[in-house]
Amino acid sequence: MADRDGFDEFVATHAVALARSARLLTGEPGSADDLLQETLIRLWTKWPRVRGADRPLAYARTTMARLHLDSRRLRRSHETPIAIDDRTGEHSSPTSVVDDHLTLWQALDRLQRLDRAVLVLRYHDGYTSGEVAAMLGISDGAVRKRAARALQVVRTELDSSKGVR
């Protein structure tokens, strides 16, 4: 099958980053795989137009976020979460690393889908609040408000797990 002028190269270059974003959005490995595949299918069908765009990765992430927000078929399960990345930070033991990641996943699970998408796009994927607003079709102020509220939920959850008041 033809490469379709760079699609295979795009996927090879960005699949890992897109998979991480999908995992953060869904909180579930199986759902993340489904979301990534659906995103790549959509991207493939529109590739001739997308490859000419200034930022095909931003287009892919926008598609992924919108698919996630529109999805009604994602089911929640309580699978063991994985680390967001390979860094472990300043933790005293491997157990505390696992506990911190479990707590983070629990905090993310408490968020509304749109709030979670805002956090992932803004803080994991590194987009500005204006870019996130354009991707999700909401105002810049709404992005900032949702991010602040979602971060407070996450902080409260993390603090309560450590006994901080």
Strand, helix or coil at 136? helix
Please name each of the domains of the chain with its CATH number. 1-79 (1.10.1740), 90-165 (1.10.10.10)
Please state the pTM of the whole predicted model: 0.58
Burial (CB count <10 Å: 0-12, 13-18, 19+), residue 154: buried
Model confidence pLDDT, tens digit, residues 32-87:
999 999 999 999 999 988 888 778 999 999 999 999 988 744 444 333 444 444 44
At 27 the pLDDT is 86
Asked if the model's pLDDT at residue 146 lies above 70, the reply is yes
Model confidence pLDDT, tens digit, residues 82-104:
444 444 444 444 555 556 667 77
